[in-house]
């Protein structure tokens, strides 16, 4: 048996964005990989799915699963899923929960990941959530993941031992870029924009946070941008 085959298995929540890809690179140092992606009716669904498959290929994911949870689009309440709500200009100093927040999305995704992990016998769930230097989503907080871990412990079989791992939770975007460079992450395969599918807009919160992270790390973001502000 090869050394890699002896590693335990982890389910990685892989959106195709910068954070989840760095998270996958971290997970791959300790685990065999099962990549999970959800389509939830987001504006850039097809582009994110392309990145998911490109990244899963790059990291030789042993398993991959794409799940449709478009009920989140039917529920609405977010500019990512409701095209009647405009994607706002970035405000990196805002303290309010932004309209890009998809209500309770991470709970939906973690529930699916837990089901799959239990079937696969995975020992960890990796999610690239960022609390300290991101959009301020309530389901990206440390206390949320601690609470969901209790849900997993209570609601799965006694022999299931699966732990949520959030290695980027207290990273800044700059640190995420630096970690990705250290690990040789293929940033050119990732996608972060909330509204563009061929060229990133450079004008949404996600683009702004990403571009600022690269700028502060003294690195060049390889994605094409319609507008590339100087951070």
Q: Does residue 16 come out as left (phi exceeding 0), alpha (psi in the -120 to 50 range) or beta?
A: left
Question: Residue 208 burial by CB count (10 A; 0-12/13-18/19+): exposed, middle or buried?
Answer: buried
What pLDDT, in 10s, does the model give residues 215-229? 999 999 999 999 998
Q: With cut-offs at 50, 70 and 90, classify the pLDDT of residue 230.
A: confident
Q: Residue range 91-112: average pLDDT?
A: 93
Q: With cut-offs at 50, 70 and 90, classify the pLDDT of residue 3.
A: low
* Entry pTM: 0.95
**pLDDT recorded at residue 135:** 75
Q: Does the pLDDT of residue 202 top 60, yes or no? A: yes
Secondary structure tally for the chain: helices H, strands E: 7, 5
Which alpha helices (H) appear in 121-204, and where do they start and end?
Answer: 142-155, 173-183
Q: Where are the beta strands (DSSP E) in the chain?
A: 9-13, 32-39, 63-68, 124-127, 163-165
How high does pLDDT run on average in the chain? 95
Q: Does the pLDDT of residue 13 top 70, yes or no? A: yes
Q: How many CB atoms lie within 10 A of CB 121?
A: 12
Q: Does the pLDDT of residue 179 top 70, yes or no? A: yes
Q: Does the pLDDT of residue 193 top 80, yes or no? A: yes
Q: How many CB atoms lie within 10 A of CB 216?
A: 16
Distance CA 69, CA 55 (A): 21
* 133 vs 112 pLDDT, higher one: 112
**pLDDT recorded at residue 79:** 97
Q: With cut-offs at 50, 70 and 90, classify the pLDDT of residue 2.
A: low
Distance CA 6, CA 168 (A): 26
**pLDDT recorded at residue 15:** 98
């Amino acid at each position: 048996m090869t050394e890699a085959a002896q590693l335990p298995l982890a389910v990685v929540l892989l959106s195709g964005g910068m954070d989840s890809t760095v998270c996958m690179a971290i997970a791959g140092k300790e685990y065999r990989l099962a990549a999970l992606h959800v389509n939830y009716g987001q504006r850039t669904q097809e582009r994110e799915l392309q990145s998911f498959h490109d990244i899963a290929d790059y990291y030789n994911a042993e398993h991959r699963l794409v799940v449709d949870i478009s009920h989140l689009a039917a529920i609405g309440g977010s500019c990512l899923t409701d095209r009647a709500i405009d994607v706002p200009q970035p405000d990196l100093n805002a303290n309010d929960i932004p309209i890009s927040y998809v209500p309770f999305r991470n709970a939906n995704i973690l529930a699916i990941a837990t089901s799959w992990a239990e079937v696969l016998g995975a020992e960890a769930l990796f999610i690239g959530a960022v609390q300290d230097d991101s959009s301020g989503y309530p389901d990206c907080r440390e206390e949320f993941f601690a609470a969901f871990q209790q849900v997993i412990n209570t609601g799965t079989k006694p022999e299931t031992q699966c732990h949520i791992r959030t290695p980027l939770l207290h990273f800044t975007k700059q640190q995420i870029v630096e970690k990705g460079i250290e690990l040789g992450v293929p940033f050119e395969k990732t996608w972060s924009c909330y509204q563009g599918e061929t060229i990133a807009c450079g004008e949404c919160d996600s683009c702004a946070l990403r571009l600022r992270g690269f700028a502060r790390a003294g690195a060049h973001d390889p994605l094409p941008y319609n507008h590339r502000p100087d951070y």
